[in-house]
Amino acid sequence: MVSHGSTFLAVESESAGPAVPYRFVVVATHPIQYFAPWFRQLATLAEIDLTVVYLRQLDADAQGAGFGQAFKWDVPLLAGYVHQTINVAPGVLGAIRTYQGIKEIFQLISPQAVLVMGWNEPALIAAAARSSGPVLVRGDSNALKPRSWMVRQYHLMLMKLYRAYLAVGRSNSEFYVANKVDTGKIFDVCHFVENDRMLAMAVAHESEASELRLLDHAQRETDVVFVFCGKHVPFKRPDWLVEAAGRLIAEGLPVRLRIAGSGEMTALLKARCEALGVPAHFTGFLNQTEMWRAYVGADVFVLPSTHRETWGLVVNEAMLFGLPAIVRDEVGCGPDLVVEGETGWIFTGGLDGLVGSMRDAVAQRMRLRPMGEAARQRVRENYSMEVATRGLLQAIKAVVK
């Protein structure tokens, strides 16, 4: 091994020549706004020669699934790194074609390590099975979700495909341990967003906080603006936030809502706010460069989702904008990002629990800003691309001989 700055992962050739990078392939379903910046960063490293293989690209209609409208992300998803697309459909037929299509890519590149981004469709499993080199896996599944005996047996068999396991958080690591994975093969890569870009947006638009608070119907310093951001779909439970706000307003508390995003429940949410007398500002769908409109000037972020929220990257975003968070105990990021009473609250007990946490936030109005600063610091220090890259490089070093 030879040293390259702060890392030391290049491999030496058999001769006394210069070190060469690891040939490294990432297999992912499709381009995602959260991972494209990471791939660009990885492409700049001397330690690896990166190729990203996508199973497919998404058109505007497919990208808009759940949001109720077609759109394209307004940040680059394919620039700055080598990539290929094999264009296979989801399902078993897609898995068969993946097995055939990726064979040629693997033969051409002869990767020394392959990272498969999850196992949520058969094609990703086929790609892992096809690799002749060691396979790393990065999935979001966590130990918070109850599973049937049959599903647990399936996971036990599936985990045998991989040589290293990239854990995005505490409960994800516990999921691997529950599936008999050796802890020495688990590497912390953390879940992250593009921290620097989010922080830059927060600073650039800080002066617009007062204007946004007026849109939220917040006219007094004591008004507390709670935010929801994401798809308006049942499993994210945005209706719980509206119902909880209605109860607190009935108690005379100065609660206001900002609801960002769109989806099948938008009309219902608006109608319910009107019926309960809940002052609410609906921003509509926000693209990546507009995300500041969801967070600037608000006070507390709320994510009351079901177990389907395997992490909840919007919590990372909100905390980078200086907001403490209230999350349900079913949300994957809770054990990592939310320190009770310091960076937010984790509620249990359904809607009553959410009401209680929101009531606590109103009662501690003067502490919300320092809590938000603590949340921002926690994400900046521990949940970044740099932390994820260190863990990835350690995993590659461990499996490539």
pLDDT in tens, 356-367: 999 999 999 999
Would the pLDDT of 17 be above 70?
no
According to DSSP, residue 21 is labeled: P
Share of the chain above pLDDT 90, in %: 86
121 phi and psi angles, rounded to 5 deg? -150, 155
Q: What is the pLDDT of residue 19?
A: 62
For residues 188 and 101, which has the higher predicted lDDT (pLDDT)?
A: 188
Would the pLDDT of 194 be above 80?
yes
Rounded mean pLDDT of 286-314? 97
pTM for this entry: 0.93
Would the pLDDT of 99 be above 80?
no
Instruction: Spell out the alpha helix ranges (H) of 1-111.
Output: 36-43, 60-63, 92-109
How far is 76 from 84, CA to CA, in rounded Å? 16
For residues 91 and 290, which has the higher predicted lDDT (pLDDT)?
A: 290
According to DSSP, residue 67 is labeled: T
Q: What is the mean pLDDT of the chain?
A: 93
Q: Tell me the pairing of strands 224-229 and 186-188.
A: unpaired
Question: Is the Cα dihedral 370, 371, 372, 377 positive or negative?
Answer: positive
Rounded mean pLDDT of 377-399? 97
How far is 13 from 254, CA to CA, in rounded Å? 67
Q: How confident is the model at residue 95 (pLDDT cuts 50, 70, 90)?
A: confident
Q: What is the pLDDT of residue 258?
A: 98
